[in-house]
A and B are shown apart, each in its own frame.
Chain A
């Protein structure tokens, strides 16, 4: 039988080290909602989401109560809307009506974000894809809870540079339309390479077309738990360090597995995957950067950061994989700037630059995440940043993403407040030299040689 020390260890993780289940995300396929009549399409979408998700929040709260583990977010991801709206939407505004329907459905069932206002254009854009992408700024400005993502490349297809260039403009327009609120629209917009179909984390979650009608995906978290465990092994060898991270990741993931199984059983919806990511929040002690410091760096960004992060990411996966049979999504460690107090401190101290963050994304689970940049950054420069990040993903056969926020009206060193889980961030400088002639070339960058595996 379980003993008092084990019970105390678990409860200490929950009460003192911020162990929580970061999100239960219900993935819903909207493929059967397609209709050529826009009004009917919107109605179908609203009814399907509110029907399937009506008990999501209540079920989450029930599980929280019975196991004593906080479940911070309950969210929904849907099929990329570019695929759903193609037949009915003739203009950008037609697509915006779908965004508003998603927002309304999210509010009705009580989830705080709904993801999937998305287009998958790694090789080319259909007319519908392009309309949706062009409607993103207005959709994000007119809604509160809708999240958007665009996949612009993959290891198999290469990089769609036309989409990359367009996304540079879209990011700036989104920032401009939401400039009254520190350009917060961009915090809900992710540009991917190799986007996973089953990611439970916002803002990049969508329900891939390879998925079943409805699934439950769960994202666990626990940077604070890993940090506390590492405090006990200061100065020990790498072997001890790795072993400690693995054991902790295992324990954290098992809790996620339990929550996922329970939610699946109670809602009668199949369980998809657990995402093992260490996802930080602005709360003190809930930081991935603090883990890097505990490993032995003065600040995140110091020489050695990439190696430390590579090791951390790998050990989290190795420990987590043992704990659940279905692991997916992004899995690893997130390194958003504004959502991580340790990262914010590192930027303020001048230890962490956007170039170092780019290097870190080669070995972490996602990419340049929640980074505030000057409001006068040119669309072509943002397209260049997206292209760099996507190239890293393409060549290394991993997911990468860009979520940068050009804060209109603010410059380097000023602070931006996004509020809540999105946190706050100092604006970091961006390389001022131009890449305009490069991103203005038309067409695609071909898939890398090692993608030819057949």
Chain B
């Protein structure tokens, strides 16, 4: 190239990473919409054949809801701290959120163990338990999303320890923040759905 001129392109209005994240969350929402609508469409059909039983969700899933709420607060604090250049608070609360994320996975695991103890397995032990298969699918796909969030939090934390997250470098922090709220809200929605729709 001959041009020696310094090129300065205008910044896009929204950071591309963040924009893509919103679209990815939209696509994810559609995936859950498909699982949830399958549940809704299937239920009357299966009820007519008496292959659908309503059962109490494991108590650990409710604990997961609590963790989702608390970790949404902690990630918010971490995010605000980073924006105000309070790097230590940021690190502490990021680590706290990461810990809560892992705790979330543990409660999910314990919830699944409770289901197994009741013979409510993914592959139906009894023909009338199609509803249990849905609970497994929906919680399983959600946990995969949470694992994605944990990876994001881990990346953000390692960046925070390298002092690369601060007022002027917020992209990864805000991506992790938005996504974590997304999986948290998603779980609250799914829990309420599974609680009431059965």
Decide whether A and B assemble into one complex.
no
Partner-A contacts on B (CB < 8 A): none
